[in-house]
Structure 1
């Protein structure tokens, strides 16, 4: 199905359109195998194992409520018949209904927020129950993880046309805006002190940026507009794009105080093909800047991975059509994430300190052979949105 986002990609960089279409086909084909048989849940991950003859097999491991909700958000953009193929005979709304029914046993704010977001976007008649589940878990007097706080705001923004959510929406919006350190454009890992150890309280990840910038853009797009929220979203997006790697990499860890990169690796496939696109698309749709060039640059990384050039791993694609997966990330393979820890500690004392010898000792030459349902769910959400 043609969407405005795919059409724009085909217009601006025609050579990338087949790649996007290939990824979307892979997502639709791969998600049914991630659905746990006879359950209203998706696996936490699909782990790949390579046999001596070079063949690969996948094993479902764990279960995840939040990944199920994200999948519902993405699948709901498909036609009804295609939704039923992915979700074992159910529509995205019907599948979301089972998630709403599970809310009494949900104890995580992020999981509840994603379920409410899916209920709002699928038009589920029990949206009020889903919103009540979020309210029961959300304590605005205590700090929350930034990602989960952002999902709360996105859920409330999505529910605006169906429920009276202006009071909690304003509180969720203010919480995100207050979380920033000084006048910096980036967001910390938590909305207040207490959840993160002091020595790494300045370190935030890519998700801590994309979900707030998306949520604030969506908050502006509804109601009477919110220029302050849009400006914060715009500033965050502009800084992320300024820091983007020459090969299109969206880096992993940032210094929320200075707006710099703490440690670039791992580079995650989901950031390249889904999370950055959906956040930046939503910003543009809300009236913000068009960061399409950065989206395209990031997408190109999926088949042109500079980290692996000249290395035996260069012959291993990150997109595996036969398995219907995208391998999860390219990473350093350093023991106990030593580089990340060293740079987190060093930048706490000296902002911007890089410890460059670590790049030579621990090169990013490893590929993580996993794929998680939310990666494919967000991919559908990013590129199947904005229908013509």
Structure 2
């Protein structure tokens, strides 16, 4: 398949097109092994272990409803035969049916929102049931985690042309816009007080930025236009791109008050090859700025990892084609996430405090040898979405 997104990548940097195509092949091959026996659910994670002889074993662990829904959102862009190969013999719509049938037992708002989003995108006939479950779980005036609030808005935007969701859509859109602190372009970790301890209420993560900017861009695109939503999406995107690392890193923790970085690590593969691209592509296709240069810079990190290249003894590939995985992240390996905690506490009282000595003590040279289904779901969504 050649999408406009892949075609544009090929025009700008042919080597990166080859990398994206390689990653997409890894995603398709890997997702099949992430499906649990019976073909009705996906594992939470695949954990890799290297034997003394250099061979690898990869073990499925846990199960995840939300990861299954995200996988469907990406797999729906594949031709039908390849959907069935990834989804245990089912099409994306058929697998969505399994998720919709599970909704009465779903108690997490984010899981329900992702299922409703998948139902809207696959044209599932029980979309109204899925939307009703989201509404039942989304208690009025109750703060929600920003990521889940963003998924609600994306689901309602996708359902808008099929089901009457205008009241809930407007409330979800307004909730995200109101969540920002002062004139900061970034989003906090929750839409209101009460969910996050006071000492880290100012700290938000990369997902707290990409999902809202994607949802607000989609809110603008799916109706008669919403300049305020588009402007908020644009401002958030511009700021995270401005803060992007010299090696293409999408940093992990931000100060939602000041729009600055609190702690950069871990750097997650999914942010580099999937989450940043899918959000920024959706923004551009909604009429916003084209941040293609930042997308390409981030993608390049997958094979040119400066954190590992600096120390030969730590060099290892993050993409293992034969296993169908991309290792999850590069991190500091500090005990009990000490750097993150210290910087979170420090910036609470002194914004922009860096505690630079921690960078020398805890260098980001560790690799988390896990891979999760949603990483590949968003990858398929990022590069196979858009216009064909």
Question: Structure 2: how far apart are the matches of 1:137 and 1:163?
Answer: 18
| Unaligned 5+ runs, structure 1 | none
Q: Residue 323 of structure 2 aligns with which residue?
A: 323
- TM-score when scaled to structure 1? 0.99
Q: C-alpha displacement at 1:312, in angstroms?
A: 3.4
**What is the root-mean-square deviation in Å for CA atoms of aligned residues?**
0.7
Contact 1:69 1:115 in 2 (8 A): yes
Question: 2:254 aligns to what SS in structure 1?
Answer: strand
Q: Residue 108 of structure 1 aligns with which residue?
A: 108
Question: Structure 2: how far apart are the matches of 1:75 and 1:375?
Answer: 12
Question: Structure 1: how far apart are the matches of 2:313 and 2:193?
Answer: 41
Question: Structure 2: how far apart are the matches of 1:86 and 1:220?
Answer: 32
Question: Structure 1: how far apart are the matches of 2:263 and 2:88?
Answer: 41
Contact 1:73 1:381 in 2 (8 A): yes
Q: Residue 83 of structure 2 aligns with which residue?
A: 83
Q: Residue 140 of structure 1 aligns with which residue?
A: 140
Contact 1:250 1:272 in 2 (8 A): yes
Question: 1:289 aligns to what SS in structure 2?
Answer: coil
Q: Residue 26 of structure 1 aligns with which residue?
A: 26
Question: Structure 2: how far apart are the matches of 1:2 and 1:216?
Answer: 27
2:304 pairs with 1:304:
yes
Question: Structure 2: how far apart are the matches of 1:363 and 1:245?
Answer: 16
Where in structure 2 are the equivalents of 1:15-164 lying within 5 Å? 15-164=15-164
Where in structure 2 are the equivalents of 1:155-234 lying within 5 Å? 155-234=155-234
Contact 1:313 1:365 in 2 (8 A): no
Question: 2:48 aligns to what SS in structure 1?
Answer: strand
| 1:240–1:185 CA distance, 2 compared to 1 (3 A) | same
Question: 2:231 aligns to what SS in structure 1?
Answer: helix
Where in structure 2 are the equivalents of 1:234-249 lying within 5 Å? 234-249=234-249
Question: Structure 1: how far apart are the matches of 2:54 and 2:334?
Answer: 25
- TM-score when scaled to structure 2? 0.99
Q: C-alpha displacement at 1:387, in angstroms?
A: 3.1
> Once superposed, which parts of structure 1, at least 4 consecutive aligned residues long, lie more than 4 Å away?
none
| 1:175–1:2 CA distance, 2 compared to 1 (3 A) | same
Question: Structure 2: how far apart are the matches of 1:15 and 1:90?
Answer: 34
Q: Residue 281 of structure 1 aligns with which residue?
A: 281
Contact 2:332 2:364 in 1 (8 A): yes
Question: Structure 2: how far apart are the matches of 1:319 and 1:313?
Answer: 18
Q: C-alpha displacement at 1:137, in angstroms?
A: 0.2
Question: 2:236 aligns to what SS in structure 1?
Answer: helix
